[in-house]
Amino acid sequence: MSDVVKGLRGVLADAIVFYHKMHHYHWHVTGPNFYPLHERFEGLYEKWADVVDDTAERIVTLGGQAHFTMAEAIEEAALAEDGTLPPPATMVANVIADLQSQCDRMRQVAGVADDANDRATSGLLDELIADIEKRLWMLRSSVA
């Protein structure tokens, strides 16, 4: 397995965990900011459905195998599941931390892809990084 595929498998694992966590938060957020947070979490899981699909397809394109069980994804993810019902402020803090973690991993894997002259993977990750950076700015601004 190439280093690029190994890195992408980590990106995919994180994306799968994040996708499920956003559903969890979307379903269970409460309080005076329910509606905007409910909508924000929905937007995140909708976007991350594409992140999961695009990343998995890139892995397969490169001759690798995408995760096909939750256990496999959880084992390889840097992100943790959240089996609690945290208050909304904690949910937002967790989302910020998870987005930053994913962005950091994507930057590292983009560097590996650059070293391998894999412009398609670098381009995919660069687009995701830019999207995450904007989301981080918006989330951090909303809690400042």
The tens digit of pLDDT for each residue in 47-85 reads: 999 999 999 999 999 999 998 899 999 999 999 999 999
**Domains of the chain, start order:** 3-143 (1.20.1260.10)
Residue 85 to residue 69: CA distance in whole angstroms? 24
The tens digit of pLDDT for each residue in 13-53 reads: 999 999 999 999 999 999 999 999 999 999 999 999 999 99
Residue located via tokens 């069980």: 69
Q: Does residue 144 surpass a pLDDT of 90? A: no
* Residues 109, 11 contacting (CB under 8 angstroms): yes
* Residues 7, 14 contacting (CB under 8 angstroms): no
Angle among Cα 39, 44, 50 to the nearest 5 degrees reads 135
How high is the pLDDT of residue 67? 82
Residue 51 to residue 102: CA distance in whole angstroms? 11
List the helix and strand counts (H, then E) for the chain. 5, 0
- Closest to 63 (Cα-Cα) out of 142, 4, 124: 4
How high is the pLDDT of residue 10? 98
**DSSP 8-state secondary structure symbol assigned to residue 67:** -
